[in-house]
Amino acid sequence: MLENGSENALLLKCADRISNLTDLHRDIQTPEHISKYLDQTEKYIIPMARKVNEDMVIELTDMVKRRRRILKMMEYERNHTAD
């Protein structure tokens, strides 16, 4: 899709990922699932956004950073919670 997708297809894929990132909830998804999803976003979706819309690049990058911070907080809480 990155190489052969139309501009509209790339825009739609990026918009869909932004929506999906908004719906990632730590109460529902495991940290492993969230981390994998963020990795996929960086590897596949952000390069698509770079081809079609710089604002989407900024939004996706910011969302990934925020969710990685949340994952770090979750890890900290897991490691520092009294048993």
**Quick check: is 17 in a domain?**
yes
**Quick check: is 2 in a domain?**
no
Q: What was the pLDDT predicted at 53?
A: 96
For residue 60, the enclosing domain spans 7-80
In contact, 24 and 67? CB cutoff 8 Å:
yes
In contact, 46 and 57? CB cutoff 8 Å:
yes
**Quick check: is 24 in a domain?**
yes
Proportion of the chain in helix, strand, coil states, percent, rounded to 5: 80, 0, 20
Structure tokens at 51: 């081809």
pLDDT tens digits, 11-56: 999 999 999 999 888 788 888 999 999 999 999 999 999 999 999 9
**Quick check: is 1 in a domain?**
no
CA distance 46 to 42: 5
Domain count, the chain: 1
**Quick check: is 73 in a domain?**
yes
**Quick check: is 49 in a domain?**
yes
CA distance 61 to 41: 9
**Quick check: is 23 in a domain?**
yes
Q: What was the pLDDT predicted at 2?
A: 67
